[in-house]
Amino acid sequence: MPDGTESESRKLLGRLRDTMAEDAAGQARLDKITHLTADSMGSEVCSIYLFRDEDTLELCATEGLKKEAVHQTRMRMGEGLVGRVARSGKVVNTADAPSERGFRYMPETGEEIYSSFLGVPIQRLGETLGVLVVQTKQKREFTSDEVYALEVVAMVLAEMTELGAFVGDTAALSARHTQPTMLRGGTGQEGTTEGHVWLHEPRVMVTNLVADDPERESERLAAAIEQLRVSVDEMLAGAVEDAEQLEVLEAYRMFANSKGWRRRMEEDISRGLSAEAAVEKEQSAARARMSQVADNYLRERLHDLDDLSNRLLRILTGQGKDTGASMPADPILVARNIGPGELLEYGRQLRGIVLEEGSVGSHAAVVARALAIPLVINAPRITTEALNGDHIMVDGDQGIVHLRPDDTVVTAFRDKIAMQAEAQERYASIRQKPAVSLCGKRISLYMNAGLLADLPSLENSGAEGVGLFRTELQFLVRNKMPSRTELVRVYKRVIEAAETAGHKPVIFRTLDIGSDKVLPYMKPTDEPNPALGWRAIRVGLDRPGVMRMQLQALLRASEGRPLTLMFPFVAQWEEFRAARAEVDKAIAIERKLGHVVPEKISVGTMLETPSLAYASNKFFEEVEFVSIGGNDLKQFFFAADRENERVRRRYDTLNVSFLTFLEQIVQRCSATGTPLSFCGEDAGRPIEAICLAAIGLHRLSMRPASIGPVKSLIMRTDLDALYDVICDARERGEQSVRGAVMEYMRWQG
Ligand code: PEP
Ligand code: MG
């Protein structure tokens, strides 16, 4: 196609469209496309290789190679030049294929006589579906125009594949999005569930890929971009002072005005693509780049471009977000990512959530936990694989998703769900009972909370109260700073819910922001080590405005009832004193304003840094209670970042050093009579919980869903005997007592 490239490629695309319109079997269509492409490109060979499974490419149609090789020749990802294109997602263009790195000759195809090779990936929305190849006898490199033309054909092929144009009974392809698929991601919230897919962002389907009238398409594109620009400007004008949102909108504006983006789409149109197809081609290229970019900032910008392309496609196709599909009765939400506010809007109607991205500490994960909805994060390709209404099973314990599962998986999975339901029933039967061990020790079990969505758990989990109310969550799920009035309303609801549930106590922790908890509307601070940086009480004391506002809201919400407060991340006595003084100031202000103040206020502290464990006895005498924040304490004890997947599971909580350290804290508190509790995630893990109880931590606060399993195990354990097991393991020089504890528990049955 060296001359008259544009009109040639338009002609080719026109012929491809006719092929699609013909009532033919899938294989016949594939054959015809290879014929048309070879003919139009002036090459002797054109072949289509498509993935048969995740790792195997199959020659599905060819013009020029031996026909017997079709559906016989297969190669693995990365194998030969075709495999190289598939793996890298990049074009291979060579005049002398046999001397190329990685060349593998496949005798059954008869390709030995062809010298030049041009392979381009067949990609849709960043996912590689196969490889399109042309070959010639003549030793020559293909021109950039030819490469471009073949890429356009590949794009159309990808879209046709998506639309099921090659589906057939015999050797042709099976329809996409019909096969059972298992995706492995990470755990965001435990629990297993089954339901049907509900796409947060339904895909826009482009059916008119090829267009005859480039001028008209170009006008349509121009009009759509103009509409997009106006809407982005409007969004910017109405945007709140939200740094992150502004950054995204500025990026939108930059792309919407980008000449390069526009020019590439114009080029695609001039070669015969419709405006929609041109947008999608660009979107696909951006997605493919996304998977290769390691830099977070760049990835975010590519995501912005992806979102913008979706908006443009919606304008062009007239397909709104509302596709007319109704939400299934048992929806499992599937999204690339989702903000906490949007997730709260869906609320408890969701059976499960699967995200293509996300992290354990993300705000969406926090909300999913509060709602006790199983969540799998980092599920690769889920947004391109899943269709609205697909049957889906989510294993939040293992971080696994089964999409369109087959019968054996369904049976096994349902067994698991049934077993869990049985266990839940068992836990329900002991809900009202106290957690008393076999040796007669009474362990108090509290729940952690932070959202109003947590409140129903006060009744149905059997929690004795809220051992940790993370007040920052109310700040994190909003896109602007909540007002004092709003906070008073929220805190009142919490206090009242606890009262109705049987006068249960609530420990409010003051704002713990910074590190992994970044408020979207606060100016981000660029710190080399945020976990060791300006966070929690440090921010509260340096910029007391917000803390004062919060303390006043808490005092006002209590309406004279007793109030319990605790400060996060206190590293030395002085910080506690300064924060305590803020409480006194807030009381004085409230009195002056004529509000009633609580009849009794208890003020304690979290113990999250090793330094505080060694504070003087006087400190322990002064604080009214101490709660060990095991998540942070463990990260600082082992110097292992709790957010870093590489190290966060590296050190065992039951490591002898850590347990001994915790035991020392128990001893110090008991010497001064300071009430002590433990409220990190480990409190909710049954084996860890009984070990904590055995070393003297008799008050544990955990996720509501963990209370049943923890109580059940405590009631079956002799904590004195377990303590002996721990001591023996320690004396024997074991690194962790886990092995010994597990063996003892097994032996106990
Ligand atoms: C902790 O650090 O253990 C804790 C309970 O606080 P957070 O997880 O909110 O940091
Ligand atoms: Mg903490």
Q: Determine which of 284-288, 317-321, 338-342 has the lowest per-residue pLDDT on average.
A: 317-321
Q: Any idea which of 279-283, 513-517, 714-718, 731-735 has the lowest mean pLDDT?
A: 513-517
Confidence of residue 363 (pLDDT cuts 50, 70, 90): confident
- Ligand 1 atom, smallest distance to 632 CA: 2
Ligand 1 binding pocket mutation candidate from 539, 570, 631, 682 (most atoms within 8 A of CB): 631
CA 343 to chain centre: 12
Q: CA-CA distance, 252 to 258, in Å (whole number)? A: 10
Question: What is the DSSP secondary-structure string of 472-485?
Answer: HHHHHTSSSPPPHH
Please give all residues whose beta carbon lies within 6 A of any atom in ligand 1, as ranges: 468, 470, 512, 608, 629-632, 679-680
Lowest-confidence segment of 23-27, 32-36, 445-449, 670-674 by average pLDDT = 23-27
Single-letter amino acid, residue 141 = E
Q: Where are the alpha helices (DSSP H) in 332-406?
A: 340-346, 363-370, 382-385
Alpha-carbon Rg for the chain in angstroms:
31
How would you label 324-361 residue by residue, b for 16+ Cβ within 10 Å and e otherwise? eeeebebbbbbbbbbbbeebbebeeebbbbbbbbbbbe
- Mean pLDDT for 658-679 is 98
How remote is the CA of residue 283 from the centroid of ligand 2, in Å?
40
Q: Tell the residue nearest (CA) to atom 4 of ligand 1.
A: 629
Q: Which of 130-144, 222-236, 517-531, 617-631 has the lowest mean pLDDT?
A: 517-531
Q: Do the bridges between strand 391-395 and strand 400-403 make them parallel or antiparallel, or are there none, so unpaired?
A: antiparallel
Phi/psi at 335 (nearest 5 deg)? -150, 160
By most ligand atoms within 8 Å of CB, the mutation choice from 475, 538, 606 for ligand 1 is: 606
Distance CA 310, CA 259 (A): 18
Is the model's pLDDT at 236 over the cut of 80? no
Average pLDDT over residues 36-55: 90
Annotated catalytic sites, by residue? 363, 679
pLDDT score at 662: 98
Ligand nearest to the CA of 629: 1
Name the H helices within 67-187.
80-88, 144-162
Q: For the whole model, what pTM was predicted?
A: 0.72
Residue 433 CA, ligand 1 centroid: distance in Å: 28
Pairing, β 186-189 against β 676-678: unpaired
Nearest to 549 by CA among 510, 606, 493: 510
Structure tokens, 740: 């010994």
Residue 591 φ then ψ, to 5°: -60, -45
- Cα four-point dihedral sign 400, 404, 407, 411: positive
The least confident of 32-46, 203-217, 232-246, 707-721 is 232-246
pLDDT category at 18 given cuts 50, 70, 90 is: confident
Determine the Cα–Cα distance for residues 124 and 162; give it in Å rounded to an integer: 8
Does residue 241 carry a pLDDT above 60? no
In angstroms, rounded to a whole number, what is the distance separating the alpha carbons of residues 677 and 702? 11
Neighbour count for residue 638 (Cβ, 10 Å): 18
Q: Which atom of ligand 1 is nearest to the CA of 629?
A: 3
Binned at pLDDT 50, 70 and 90, residue 2 comes out as very low
Spatial contact of 497 and 455, defined as CB atoms under 8 Å apart: yes
- Predicted confidence band at 464 (pLDDT cuts at 50, 70, 90)? very high
State which ligand 1 atom lies nearest to the alpha carbon of 472.
9
pLDDT at 322: 61
Mutate to test the pocket of ligand 1, among 447, 466, 470, 700 (most ligand atoms within 8 A of CB): 470
Find out whether 573 and 608 touch, Cβ atoms under 8 Å: no
Torsion of CA 377, 383, 384, 389, to 10 degrees: 120
Predicted confidence (pLDDT) at residue 29 exceeds the cutoff of 90: no
